[in-house]
Chain A
């Protein structure tokens, strides 16, 4: 088989059957996206790199148990997220070491006329201002697209806790990113990080 032309599922099957090149091709296809997931979750490139190695090696070894009814990307994604969450837990078990991030209260740059890429960078920087407690559920639910129930299971917390942590995290992001017309309406978020501006209304009604 030509590895480059095969589907992900075919590569997994080939790898499980002993094809020595199949898994390397799978890694080549997915490593950038999985790198983004790991870096978003852990923020530290060294840790993200280590987590990704652990994840791909565990996928290498577990490929035989992959079930074709699920997407390879979904399967890999979950392995990567779990490897990252393990590291977060280990990190939390150690004495607190401050992580590199933008300082609290540092204003987000003005967002008018920003390219999509710049907007993403600003949002990423704002995410780094959240506590780990709020950041992880938000990354899982809003960025990676896991359900509240899946997130609760992976983080080992109650669904209600996921919802309320997401809520508080989004509120802080809205404030930091200058999305609130009246940022002083709440005392629980810092007021000095606000770039006040009119909010572009994008309707994105969700089930509520």
Chain B
């Protein structure tokens, strides 16, 4: 800076931007060293620097202030996401109850008839899975007759989620944030269905909804809030659910 700029930004009248740059350490060190004594000697410039100090203090107070609570519905959504993640981890770590028979760790000598019986059981399980899968495809086609094979209808192109009646909470992660109403079509009709199940949609708000197959039956899985942070209601209903027709397949609180 030179005196030739005395009417410019680096001398009275001071530019607030230059003072702010100086205050933030954004200027060349040599220029800063020249400016500070002049700024400190000038009450007007000094008052700007002090105002910038005040701003920094106020901004710091924002960060240190006791936070407002996260709104309950967002907190519930977050809890559901974490629970779903935990359920997925449990699923990948702990074997589920419904599994094909595992071969024993060693190979004990057993009689031929027992071996045949066991092989039949394994085959029956495999056939059952294939049958269920075929049924799922058939139901998908019935439920979404307009779906084409080009992926134009993303929801229809996706097979219904398989849900285990004994462990419906394992599917939470695949339902949260979904808006796949299926035959119920929209939130309004889902709310009517929720009411038909003696639940108030204002309290039991929808976190996610998705078409499912539960033990071979088509259903609509609604993940709902309960009004209590960290707790959810899992409501699974028949696709025909509506006023006077609750069609309840499962209605449970999670965690219990």
Contacts and interface: CB of A to CB of B under 8 A. Distances in A.
Interface of A: 18, 20, 23-24, 27-28, 31-33, 35-36, 40, 45, 48-49, 52-53, 56-57, 60-61, 116-117, 119-120, 123-124, 127, 138, 142-145, 148, 160, 163-164, 166-168, 170-171, 173-175, 177, 179-182, 185-186, 188-189, 199-206, 208
Nearest to B60: A142
Contacts of A143: 59-60, 62-63
B85 A123 contact: no
Contact of B86 (A23, A144, A182, A202): A23
B67 interface: yes
A32 B25 contact: no
Nearest to B47: A181
19 contacts: A27-B78, A27-B79, A32-B67, A35-B70, A35-B74, A49-B74, A56-B78, A60-B82, A117-B65, A123-B61, A127-B62, A142-B63, A148-B25, A163-B24, A174-B48, A181-B51, A185-B15, A206-B56, A208-B22
Give the size range of B's interface with the partner.
35 or more
A89 B67 CA distance: 26
Contacts of B23: 167, 170, 208
A174 B79 contact: no
Nearest to B90: A20
A183 to B, nearest CB: 8
B54 A206 contact: no
Interface string B7-19: 0000001111101
B230 A24 contact: yes
Contacts of A36: 65, 67-68
A167 B21 contact: yes
Nearest to A171: B20
A27 B44 CA distance: 48
Contacts of A160: 26
B230 A32 contact: no
Interface string B202-216: 000000000000000
Interface of chain A: mostly helix, strand, loop or mixed: helix
B62 A124 contact: yes
A174 B55 contact: yes
Contact of B54 (A145, A148, A202): A202
Contacts, number: 175
A170 B52 contact: yes
B230 A28 contact: yes
Contacts of B85: 57, 60-61
Contact of B20 (A28, A168, A181): A168
B26 A163 contact: yes
Interface string B22-43: 1111100000100010000000
Chain A to chain B: the 4 pairs with minimum beta-carbon distance, closest first: A186-B16, A142-B59, A167-B24, A179-B51
A168 B23 CA distance: 11
A201 B86 contact: no
A120 B61 contact: yes
Contacts of B67: 32-33, 35-36
B148 interface: no
Contacts of B60: 142-143, 145
Contact of A40 (B15, B16, B62, B77): B62
Nearest to B57: A204
Contacts of B25: 148, 163, 208
Contact of B14 (A138, A163, A185, A203): A185
Given A35-B74, A199-B54, 10 more contacts: A24-B82, A56-B78, A119-B61, A163-B26, A166-B26, A167-B21, A174-B48, A180-B48, A201-B50, A204-B53
